[in-house]
Amino acid sequence: MAQSPSVIHLDRAEKAVSLLLSTDQNQQRYRPKTIRPCNEVRQNYLPTFPSISYGPHNYLLLANVPGIHLSPLEKLRRVHGANTDDAISLMKSYRYSGGHEGFHLSEQHITDLAERFQIGESIITFNAERIRSLSASLFALHEEFRVTVLKRPNVALAEPTLNSKQMAILLEFYLQIDVDTFYMKVCSFREPDFWSNMNNSEGLFSEYKGPEARYMVEPCGSLFCTCCHPPNSWRKTRPWPVVDFASSSSHQFVNGYTTYLNCSATCMTSNIVYAMTCPCGHYDYIESTKETLSEALACTYLMQHFLSLAQYERLVQKKEIAGQMRLYRHSARCPVALRVFLDCNPAHWCFVPMTWHDSATESIRVLAQRSNERDPEIANIVRMGAINDRTVARQLDSVPIPPAPYAFSYRQRQQQREFFERLATLPLGRSPYSTIDLYQAKIIAVLPNDCSLLLRYLIETLFIIHCETKLNMICPLGGDPERRYGPPFEPIWCDNLHNGIQNATAEDH
């Protein structure tokens, strides 16, 4: 490499500076807002200053923290961290891309990145190696997910590799997905605009300026766009926008991590990473697509099929794909999301159990009114000899068992039977529910137009790691989302759902 830096021995410089500083000042180093003892492992996925040792001497790059919030030692590291003995010797041993070798940068790309970021090349090569070594385990997680859950062939991941140009884009994201915020001061792809011209003089590190909202998602205006015109939203009793264009320039996740949109976009922009947040405010999810947000949301309407079925079939036990997806399982058992679904589909209320007390009170009242009539339950048992009724009986039998302090009332069991009888008479292709959006969606990052599937996976997974989204099936922190975050819903899911709802017997259609 044609770099001849004056090597500064940072270790010695640090010792000298630390002697000059009081203990109190040393303790004022930057404290990440989203790192706690339970998620410290996230730091293993963050960019750091070059170091041969692995452990407490890996200092985070902290690209999005203004210098004024850093300690004197941290500021010193920004100035000299690329020129330590470790940094220089590691850079000398870096293998540049050439021939068919993947996951390595060319000398030209390293020089370009160092110039744009205004940092030493050793920081680029060190972190290129860091993300390269992480990629193998992240691909393995995607591979396992595709094979065991999605049951899809693993063609794309069979021989994963990134060329130098793709590595340069990955680095651009990796260095700027910081500990608390994702903020791209430097974004080389898509159209250069006012902001990128304005910030040409600014490198990766800034002394004063913190992240700021620069870009927005604009509505496309199409009458057929599900972002601009979500179906059935007028039926929600508690309206909320599916895509809130007004707040689209940044997004805060449930764990406090904040992302700032890196390019202007519309709901028709393709190649994006987007977040979905349940209206309950406790669960979120990250996904990427080579298509548009509008098209991605249209796919989530398929989830409604699961949501509808989940009310009356024990799908999770059947190991179907939708039955394993935490995103769907949460909506099917989240009181807030369910309420939205039930507003739009009131015939499903009979599958929401009542408390034992309410159920018993109601059943006694109904049975007392019918004491002189022939028992309709017995009448139905007699009728179940016919083939249709056997189907209904099987469906009734597969209704999920309510959690302990809840039960179905006599009226609800009757309504369930009528529901299944109607279901059998529905014309082919007609669903027993109306679709409605159950999540709030937001574009959090725009990717290059020619972003490959592998590159998209890696960037998406970095966001999943740092935003700690509880509904993703891929969970690098701990390997299994169920073990790390528990089930995607509370066990007593019907708690208070019936409050304020009396005699909900309205029909869907």
Closest separation between CB of residue 277 and Zn ion, Å?
9
Q: In angstroms, what is the C-alpha Rg of the chain?
A: 28
Task: Measure the CA–CA gap between 79 and 77, rounded to whole angstroms.
Answer: 5
Which CB, 150 or 298, lies closer to Zn ion? 298
**What would the two tokens of residue 459 be?**
């960037």
**What would the two tokens of residue 102 be?**
């993947």
Alpha helices per DSSP H over 370-433: 376-383, 387-397, 410-425
Q: Which of 227, 340, 342, 465 binds Zn ion (CB under 5 A)?
A: 227
Which CB, 14 or 295, lies closer to Zn ion? 295
Binding flag, residue 267, Zn ion (CB under 5 A): yes
Q: Are 444 and 262 in contact (CB under 8 A)?
A: no
Q: Which of 256, 438, 230, 407 is nearest to 329 (CA)?
A: 438
**What would the two tokens of residue 444 be?**
């959090």
Sheet containing 270-277: which strands, arranged edge to edge?
Answer: 284-292, 270-277, 440-446
Q: Which of 1, 157, 220, 393 binds Zn ion (CB under 5 A)?
A: 220
How close are the terminal C-alpha atoms of the chain, in Å? 71
Closest separation between CB of residue 226 and Zn ion, Å?
8
Compute φ and ψ for 377, nearest 5 degrees: -65, -45
Task: Measure the CA–CA gap between 122 and 110, rounded to whole angstroms.
Answer: 9
Binding flag, residue 242, Zn ion (CB under 5 A): no
Q: Are 326 and 470 in contact (CB under 8 A)?
A: yes
Determine the size of the site formed for Zn ion (CB under 5 A).
10
Which CB, 156 or 280, lies closer to Zn ion? 280
x-marked contacts with Zn ion along 486-505 as a string, rule CB under 5 A: --------------------
Closest separation between CB of residue 330 and Zn ion, Å?
6
Q: Which of 334, 338, 436, 475 binds Zn ion (CB under 5 A)?
A: 334
Binding flag, residue 315, Zn ion (CB under 5 A): no
Binding flag, residue 254, Zn ion (CB under 5 A): no
Closest separation between CB of residue 328 and Zn ion, Å?
12
Greatest Cα pair distance in the chain: 100
Which CB, 490 or 508, lies closer to Zn ion? 490
Closest separation between CB of residue 21 and Zn ion, Å?
47
Which CB, 274 or 420, lies closer to Zn ion? 274
Which CB, 88 or 220, lies closer to Zn ion? 220
453-467 vs 164-176: helix axis angle to the nearest 10?
10
Task: Measure the CA–CA gap between 372 and 391, rounded to whole angstroms.
Answer: 30
Which CB, 225 or 436, lies closer to Zn ion? 225
Which CB, 298 or 453, lies closer to Zn ion? 298
Task: Measure the CA–CA gap between 20 and 115, rounded to whole angstroms.
Answer: 33
Q: Which of 62, 91, 186, 225 binds Zn ion (CB under 5 A)?
A: 225
Binding flag, residue 228, Zn ion (CB under 5 A): yes
Stretch that binds Zn ion, among 272-280, 315-323, 387-395, 497-505 (CB under 5 A): 272-280
Which CB, 163 or 304, lies closer to Zn ion? 304
Binding flag, residue 297, Zn ion (CB under 5 A): no
Which CB, 219 or 403, lies closer to Zn ion? 219
Closest separation between CB of residue 309 and Zn ion, Å?
19
Closest separation between CB of residue 488 and Zn ion, Å?
9
Task: Measure the CA–CA gap between 214 and 88, rounded to whole angstroms.
Answer: 36
Binding flag, residue 150, Zn ion (CB under 5 A): no
Which H or E run contains 12?
A: helix 10-20
Q: Which of 17, 21, 149, 280 binds Zn ion (CB under 5 A)?
A: 280
| Residue 195, SS3 per DSSP | helix
Task: Measure the CA–CA gap between 508 and 435, rounded to whole angstroms.
Answer: 11
Closest separation between CB of residue 331 and Zn ion, Å?
7
In whole angstroms, how far apart are CA 299 and each of 149, 306, 333? Answer: 17, 12, 20
Q: Which of 10, 131, 278, 458 binds Zn ion (CB under 5 A)?
A: 278
Closest separation between CB of residue 265 and Zn ion, Å?
11
Stretch that binds Zn ion, among 155-163, 168-176, 270-278, 423-431 (CB under 5 A): 270-278
Task: Measure the CA–CA gap between 141 and 149, rounded to whole angstroms.
Answer: 11
Binding flag, residue 332, Zn ion (CB under 5 A): no
Q: Are 5 and 83 in contact (CB under 8 A)?
A: yes
At which residue do the structure tokens 């500076």 appear? 17
Binding flag, residue 309, Zn ion (CB under 5 A): no
Q: Which of 248, 242, 116 is nearest to 185 (CA)?
A: 116
Binding flag, residue 342, Zn ion (CB under 5 A): no
Binding flag, residue 360, Zn ion (CB under 5 A): no
Which CB, 223 or 382, lies closer to Zn ion? 223
- Point out which residues bind Zn ion (CB under 5 A): 219-220, 225, 227-228, 267, 278, 280, 334, 337
